[in-house]
Structure 1
Amino acid sequence: MRLPAPSIAALRLGAAALTLIAVAATFLSTASRATINPFNFFGFFTIQSNLLAAAALAATAVLVLLGRAVPAWLVLARAATTAYMIVVGLVYNTLLVGLAGGVELPWANTVLHVVFPVYCLLDWALVADRDPLPWRRLWAVLVYPVLWCAVVLVRGATDGWVPYPFLNPATGYGSVLFYVLLIAVTVVTAGAGVFGLSRVRPIVRVSESVRTRG
C-alpha cells in the first residue's frame, strides 16, 4: 500500500501536536490548582519521553514533506524514542493504571500513555521510510535513560525530589541500583524489539522517494 508523503507527514505532525497539547494542558491544569516547579513536572520519564518522541517524529515528518533524505542519526533517535514510548505504555498499562498520582486529565493521560505510544510503534513498524538499523548501534537507546537516572539520583541526594519513590536514595542505594538496572534492561529489550522491527518489511510505502542518508 502506498500513501503520499503529505499524508504521512500530516499524520506524524498531528500525533506530535496532540502530544504537545496533552503535555501543555496537563502542566496548565496542575499549575492552576497549585504551585508547580517546572523542573519537577518536566522531570518525569513519561513527560520527557513523550516530548522527545514528538520532536523526533515531527522532524521526520518535515523531511518527508520536503522530500529530503532522513539522516541516519534521526532514524536512530526515532528508534530510541519509540523504545521509550513502548516502555511508558507497557509500564503504565500493566503496573500503574488506576493508581493515584500521574497525569490527572483523563484525555491527556490516555494520549500520553496509550494513544501516542501505540502510534509511535505502528508508525515505526508499518511505514517504509527507514532502513534496517545495525545492532552495533543498539547501545544508543541507553544514552537518555542513563542521563535521566543520573540527574534523578543527584536531585534525590541533594534537594530530595525524585519522580518515582523507587528511585529515592532514602530507600537504600542497593534498592535504587536494582531499579536502575531494571530500567536499563527494560529499555534495551524494547530497543531490541524496535531494531528487530526495522528488519521487517513494512506494508505502507511513501509514494515519493524518501531514503535514509547514512
Structure 2
Amino acid sequence: MNSKNRKSNTQIFYASITAFFAWFAIIFQFYLTKGSIANFFSYFTILSNLLIALSLTFSIFLPKTKIGEFFSSLSVQTAIALYIFIVALVYNTVLRGILIVTGWRLIADNILHVLNPVLYILYWLRYSEKEKLSWKDGVYWAIFPFFYLIYSLIRGVITNWYPYPFLNVVQIGYKTVLMNVGVMIIVFFIIGLLLIILNNKLKKNNDSQDI
C-alpha cells in the first residue's frame, strides 16, 4: 500500500474534526446570511473553508478517487494552507471590527476565520506527506487568488456589490483597488514561498531522522 494511503487513527480523527468544523461553519454561516447564494460563495473566506472541507473529506475518506488523489497532493494541501492563512491574516489584522457581529454570527465568524485556519494549518504541518516543493509551486498557487480578485472586480461592476471593502471601487476608486490587488498577489506569493521553505526544511528534518 502506498504510504500516502496509510493514515493513522489519530490523523483520521483529527481530519474528521477539522472537516466537521469546516462543513459546519459553511452551512451555519449560509443559514445566518441574508443575501444571494452567488454573493455568499463570492467570499474568499467561504471558498477557502470549502476547500478545507472538500480536501479532508476526499483525501481521508475517498483517497483512491480522482478527486481524492488530487486533494491528497502536497502541493494542493499547501495551497489550501496558504489560502486559509491569508484569510486569517487579512481578517484579523484588517477586517475585524469593520462589521460588528454578535451572538451566533460571532461564533460562526470566529470558526471561519480563526478556528478552521488553525486546525488546517496544524493538520498540514503534522500530517501532510512532505516532499520537495519548488518556487514554481508558489506561482501556481497565486493563480487562483488572482482570478478570484479579477472575478470580484468584474462581478462588482455588474452587480454593484463587492465582497470586501478593499475591493470596492465605488468607495475607494480603481487606482487604490488595483494597488490593493497587486499587494495581495505579492503577499500570496511571498507567504507561499515561506511555506515552501518551511515544507522543505521539515522534509529534510524527516529525512535525516529516517537515516
Q: Which of residues 9, 15, 19 is equivalent to 2:12? A: 9
More moved, 188-197 vs 141-150: 188-197
Question: Whole-Å Cα distance in 2 between the matches of residues 186 and 54 of structure 1?
Answer: 24
Output the amino acid matched with 2:87: V
How many residue pairs match? The answer is 195
**Contact map agreement 2:77 2:128 (CA 8 A) in 1:** no
Greater share of strand: 1
| Aligned position for 2:31 | 28
Q: How far apart are 1:60 and its partner, in Å?
A: 2.4
Q: CA RMSD in A?
A: 2.7
| Aligned position for 1:208 | none
| Aligned position for 2:90 | 91
Output the amino acid matched with 2:30: F
Can you give the 5+ residue segments of structure 2 that lack an aligned partner in the other structure? 1-5, 207-211
Q: Does 1:115 align with 2:128?
A: no
CA distance change for structure 1 residues 187 and 128 in 2, over 3 Å: closer, same or farther? closer
| Aligned position for 1:212 | none
Question: Whole-Å Cα distance in 1 between the matches of residues 33 and 72 of structure 2?
Answer: 35
CA distance change for structure 1 residues 58 and 191 in 2, over 3 Å: closer, same or farther? farther
Question: Whole-Å Cα distance in 2 between the matches of residues 166 and 28 of structure 1?
Answer: 26
Greater share of helix: 2
**Contact map agreement 1:75 1:130 (CA 8 A) in 2:** yes
**Contact map agreement 1:19 1:116 (CA 8 A) in 2:** yes
1:37-66 residue CA offsets vs partner (Å, 9 max, x unmatched):
010011111111111122223322236799
Question: Whole-Å Cα distance in 1 between the matches of residues 127 and 201 of structure 2?
Answer: 11
Equivalent residue runs for 1:1-214 within 5 Å: 5-31=8-34, 36-62=35-61, 74-100=73-99, 105-127=105-127, 129-170=129-170, 171-201=172-202
Output the amino acid matched with 2:25: A
Question: Whole-Å Cα distance in 2 between the matches of residues 192 and 153 of structure 1?
Answer: 26
| Aligned position for 2:3 | none
TM-score by length of 2: 0.81
CA distance change for structure 1 residues 146 and 60 in 2, over 3 Å: closer, same or farther? same
Question: Whole-Å Cα distance in 1 between the matches of residues 163 and 137 of structure 2?
Answer: 29
Question: Whole-Å Cα distance in 1 between the matches of residues 117 and 140 of structure 2?
Answer: 20
CA distance change for structure 1 residues 98 and 159 in 2, over 3 Å: closer, same or farther? closer
Can you give the 5+ residue segments of structure 1 that lack an aligned partner in the other structure? 206-214
The share of aligned pairs that are identical, in percent, is 28
TM-score by length of 1: 0.80
